[in-house]
Amino acid sequence: MRLCFTVFFLLALTQLNGVTAQETAPEIKMPDVRRMEYISNQQVLLMCNAEGVPVPRYKWYKDGALIVSDSITQVDPVTGNLSIPSFTIREEGLYQCGAENTVSPGVTPLAQSPAINVREVSLGANWPVIPVEDINKFEGAYANLLCTDVPESVPKAQFSWFLESPDGAKKQVEETDRIHVDDQGTLHFIYLETIDQTGADLYKCAIYNNILNTIQLGSPKSLTVTPVASKPQVKPKAEYTTNPAIFLRTQTAELECVFSGYPLPTITWRKGGNTITASEKYQFDKINRKLKVLNLVEEDEGIYTCFGQNSVSTVQIPIFLDVTSGPIWEQALSYQTIPTGRDAVFYCKSRAADGEDPIDTPTWYINGNLINILSPPGSGKFQFSDGGRVLTVIGLQKPDDTQCFQCNVSNKIDYEFANGCLNVIEPIVITEHPPPIQEIVKGDRVNLTVKATTDPGMTLRERWRFKNQTYDNNAPPHVIYNDVTKEAYIDTSGLTDAEFEAIIGVYYRDLYHQYDSYTVTIEVVPKGRDDAVAAAGDFPWWWIVVVILLLLLVVIIILICFCCKRKQDEGTYKVYAKEVNAVYLNPDKDLEDHKFHNVARIESEEDTSTKKRPAHNPAYDVNDDEPDSMDEYRGRRDQSGKYNAGYFSGDDRYANAGRYTHQESQA
């Protein structure tokens, strides 16, 4: 009764919200394990669970083949459980769950889980009977007892050693700073004491299976220790190290290092020259003989050095830790819900660990069926790229493209499997919207009504944005909105001038759900606004400032150039237009080449009685009848009949230019 009421309530709630059930491909939630171990004759139960609409039905595969229920293995298609009443080694293998439903006639997507490796727990047969091995050593010497002919164990067995008496009594050998059992089962005596010898007892190696809770003993050893007067000092010697040290990423690496020697060597560890101390990353066990590197990452790979030291010497051993891995996901398949008409992209991208071989090309499946990526089905519907690591489904259609995809990537270490299903829905479609630009005057009614439809399985949500404000649960100021009719408007008749001015602007109506969205833009502007004023209001005044600054810069550059030119012309002789036609076109050079040498001061007439006049030089006699221009004297005769060529006769033509001639004194 309660179940019926719950179903009725959910259906009523769904109808109230206008949402119908959306058909979706199955999504597997479990199993999420990769390995399971069972004891022989034990009942096995593998469970699978998936979500989807309609409710999925289940199937199981073993080693890739569909399991048909029989007396040995039963599959429940409703609950998803696989049961094996009495498990044996015959049922070992890889088991994979599949979940499928029918979203439309002829459309049945199938999702698949990663495979589970199911193994039988075992501890092999009894240890083979072998002769007792006799070991003879001196006191203070090193001894190791090998664990040989070890039976196979699932899971891996744990090692220990026992002393067994002739009557069958057993006593476990305790590990101390002097006695150590390594991961291969070897019993190490760092140095021997006389108490270590066996007598009638025998040392026996023991393996322990923790699931079966069973111990088996074998590989008997007899140890004789010969006493000495004084144990000799012996420098450390490496007796055992982990080799090869290969561990998987995310695991815990256990590196072992065993030194013999007397006195007892102490052990320290380093990596890259740095001493390793206990931390969240590193732990020590068995008196530092074992270093644990937790939660391995690729950066942990490298050389770890083990140091054994006593009072005699120090010895070091390098151990290379190789961190390996199966494929490492970069981008795996995922569940997607996409509207019709668009494309869906699925990624199957992985990489190898640093320094490892590259990953093989992915293997792809559609609804559990293997496909050839070089020649995919669908006449171009499915397109592969990036070396088969990317699948694009073109032009989605509902419901035909609702389906599931799987990909598998592997290397020599392991494999990874991913499943991703595609759900196709109807997009958001706008059925009614107002004009994108509305010019209004006070008293008008602003239409902001936006109506839309979407997929029946989606709940369409709405949001307003106006003047950098978002309104999720209400409308902007002065907007009247009816949740039932979806009508929205602004009645400006009752607004003040300030309120009317405040409603001017751009309104955004966002319609959305988790898989799609659409935005309608409505701009409200006042009607009759002067375009020039509006343009002026929108004019970018800062451009005027930029232009003025550029003009000032040009004026400054011109002034600088003018000043530089004036500075350059200082001290330069100016050639005027009258002199351009003269014979001497370079007076500055003439003045430099023919300076007035020995130019005497003109003596006044009052000094003629006391000053001696210079000798008369007819060459400088001036003819007053001729013009004063020097060019007029060229080639003329003076009164004595000689050419007056003194002004143009070589370097001395200006030598006595400052003295009066005899004719000038007579005048």
Q: At the fourth CATH level, which superfamily is domain 429-536?
A: Immunoglobulins (2.60.40.10)
**pLDDT category of residue 213 using cuts at 50, 70 and 90:** very high
Q: Give the least confident one: 344-353, 405-414, 629-638.
A: 629-638
Measure the CA–CA gap between 222 and 132, rounded to whole angstroms: 7
Predicted pLDDT of residue 580: 46
pLDDT surpasses 80 at 640: no
Predicted pLDDT of residue 125: 78
pLDDT surpasses 60 at 193: yes
Q: Which tokens hold the place of 621?
A: 């006699």
Q: Which tokens hold the place of 539?
A: 């004019």
Predicted pLDDT of residue 639: 42
Measure the CA–CA gap between 624 and 368, rounded to whole angstroms: 131
pLDDT surpasses 70 at 564: yes
Identical fold for domains 123-232 and 328-425, yes or no, is: yes
Predicted pLDDT of residue 540: 64
pLDDT surpasses 70 at 619: no
**pLDDT category of residue 666 using cuts at 50, 70 and 90:** very low
**pLDDT category of residue 344 using cuts at 50, 70 and 90:** very high
pLDDT surpasses 70 at 653: no
Percent of the chain clearing pLDDT 90 (strictly above) = 72
**pLDDT category of residue 262 using cuts at 50, 70 and 90:** very high
Model confidence pLDDT, tens digit, residues 501-513: 999 999 999 999 9
Measure the CA–CA gap between 217 and 164, rounded to whole angstroms: 10
Measure the CA–CA gap between 192 and 226, rounded to whole angstroms: 9
Q: Which pTM value belongs to this model?
A: 0.71
Measure the CA–CA gap between 40 and 458, rounded to whole angstroms: 51
Model confidence pLDDT, tens digit, residues 233-260: 999 999 999 999 999 999 999 999 999 9
In words, the CATH class of domain 20-121 is mainly beta
Measure the CA–CA gap between 419 and 52, rounded to whole angstroms: 14
Measure the CA–CA gap between 396 and 345, rounded to whole angstroms: 11
**pLDDT category of residue 591 using cuts at 50, 70 and 90:** low
Model confidence pLDDT, tens digit, residues 28-64: 999 989 999 999 999 999 999 999 999 999 999 999 9
Q: Pick left, alpha or beta for residue 623 (phi over 0 → left; psi -120 to 50 → alpha; otherwise beta).
A: beta
Predicted pLDDT of residue 217: 95
Are residues 307 and 314 in contact, defined by beta-carbon separation less than 8 angstroms? yes
Predicted pLDDT of residue 32: 86
Q: Which contiguous run of DSSP H or E holds residue 524? A: strand 516-526
pLDDT surpasses 80 at 367: yes
DSSP code of residue 154: B
In the chain, the amino acid numbered 193 is E
Instruction: Compute the residue count for the chain.
Output: 667
Order of all β-strands in the sheet with 415-425: 336-339, 415-425, 403-410, 363-366, 369-370
Are residues 121 and 41 in contact, defined by beta-carbon separation less than 8 angstroms? no
> What topology is assigned to 328-425 in CATH?
Immunoglobulin-like (2.60.40)
**pLDDT category of residue 543 using cuts at 50, 70 and 90:** confident
Query: Domains of the chain: which residue ranges?
Result: 20-121, 123-232, 328-425, 429-536, 586-666
pLDDT surpasses 60 at 7: no
Predicted pLDDT of residue 271: 96
Are residues 180 and 145 in contact, defined by beta-carbon separation less than 8 angstroms? no
Measure the CA–CA gap between 267 and 263, rounded to whole angstroms: 13
Dihedral angle computed from the Cα positions of residues 625, 630, 631 and 633, in that order, rounded to the nearest 10 degrees: 40
Q: Give the least confident one: 90-104, 268-282, 348-362, 607-621.
A: 607-621
Q: What is the mean pLDDT of the chain?
A: 85
The hierarchical CATH code for the domain 123-232 is 2.60.40.10
Q: How many helices (H) and strands (E) does the chain have?
A: 7, 48
Model confidence pLDDT, tens digit, residues 94-136: 999 999 999 999 999 999 999 999 999 999 878 888 899 999 9
**pLDDT category of residue 659 using cuts at 50, 70 and 90:** very low
Higher pLDDT, 657 or 82: 82
In the chain, the amino acid numbered 13 is L
Mean pLDDT over residues 294-300, rounded?
96
Predicted pLDDT of residue 312: 96
Residue with tokens 């319609």: 511
pLDDT surpasses 60 at 567: yes
Measure the CA–CA gap between 491 and 479, rounded to whole angstroms: 8
Predicted pLDDT of residue 266: 97
Higher pLDDT, 494 or 3: 494
pLDDT surpasses 80 at 322: yes
Q: Give the least confident one: 5-9, 289-293, 449-453, 536-540.
A: 5-9
